[in-house]
Amino acid sequence: MMREQLAQYDRDGFLVLPEFVSHEACNALHARADELVQKFDPAGVVSVFSTHEQTRTSDDYFLESGDQIRFFFEENAFNPDGSLRQARESSINKIGHALHDLDPAFDAFSRTADIRELVAELGIREPLLLQSMYIFKQPNIGGEVTCHQDATFLFTEPLRMVGLWFALEDATTENGCLWVIPGGHKVGLKSRFVRAEGGGTRFEVFDGSPWPEAKAIPLEVEKGTVIVLHGLLPHFSRENRSSQSRHAYTLHVIDASSKYPANNWLQRSEQMPLKGF
Ligand SMILES: O=C(O)CCC(=O)C(=O)O
């Protein structure tokens, strides 16, 4: 990475790196995600994913997914009677959160020399691969992801965390590409999503002011692009009402030299410690 790109990252809080991953690698991950969905038995799982606080809180299936491969449905996936509105493979919002440690195809995609070097250049000296998500952004029903900072969900002290968002398909304003507020990482952390003492979760709010979403810009990117997100950069994505899916893979890397609080929502069992590249 070049010096100007690092300066740009410091200034804007994000970087767009086209052609970072080959189309073959994107296709292999896509195919593996399709396989995982085919093998997934949804019986008994009624966890409906949404970043809206009320549906996300107190959901054990979600809270225990830090060291698992779990499937989360789109908010609009179900009819009022609980049946699926679309085929199962078109109803899943995302898979998370330890794909990179549990699935060989995701492990291979996540642990390349290119990614290791990129993360090192971004200043993460002792990398630990904390979380991975495969995000489908399904045609017609793909839900919005409201404006947030990733450090709200993945806090470290001091904050040393970087988010990598890989476009596995072209992302456009029509199919729900990422939007960012350039420079928005300079305002500081507005909230933390933590495990509540009595069970479940809660938001700890430090600054309740609304995000200046009018300043946001869309990042329309081609398949194979990686978008680097500073942990404090506000970003969101709109609903996908188009007929095109918008698959993406995200990987969050933290630094072992920072403290990972015990009340972060995402936790692992002692049997599955975090690993580097
Ligand atoms: O892929 C998206 O639509 C947004 C993902 C995102 O911001 C997140 O999961 O933190």
Q: Are the CB atoms for 103 and 95 separated by under 8 Å?
A: no
Ligand 1: nearest atom to the Cα of 51: 9
Closest C-alpha residue for ligand 1 atom 3: 237
| Ligand 1 contacts CB of residue 91 (under 6 A) | no
pLDDT in tens, the chain (277 residues): 789 999 999 999 999 999 999 999 999 999 999 999 999 987 666 544 444 444 444 478 889 999 999 998 887 787 777 777 888 888 899 999 999 999 999 999 999 999 999 999 999 999 999 999 999 999 998 999 999 999 999 999 999 999 999 999 999 999 999 999 999 999 999 999 999 988 888 999 999 999 999 999 999 999 999 999 999 999 999 999 999 999 999 999 999 999 999 999 999 999 999 999 9
Cα dihedral sign, 93-98-102-107:
positive
Closest to 125 in 3D by CA, of 83, 179, 149, 161:
161
Whole-number Å distance between alpha carbons of 277 and 129: 7
| Ligand 1 contacts CB of residue 100 (under 6 A) | no
Give the CA radius of gyration of the chain: 18
Ligand 1: nearest atom to the Cα of 133: 9
DSSP label at 12?
H
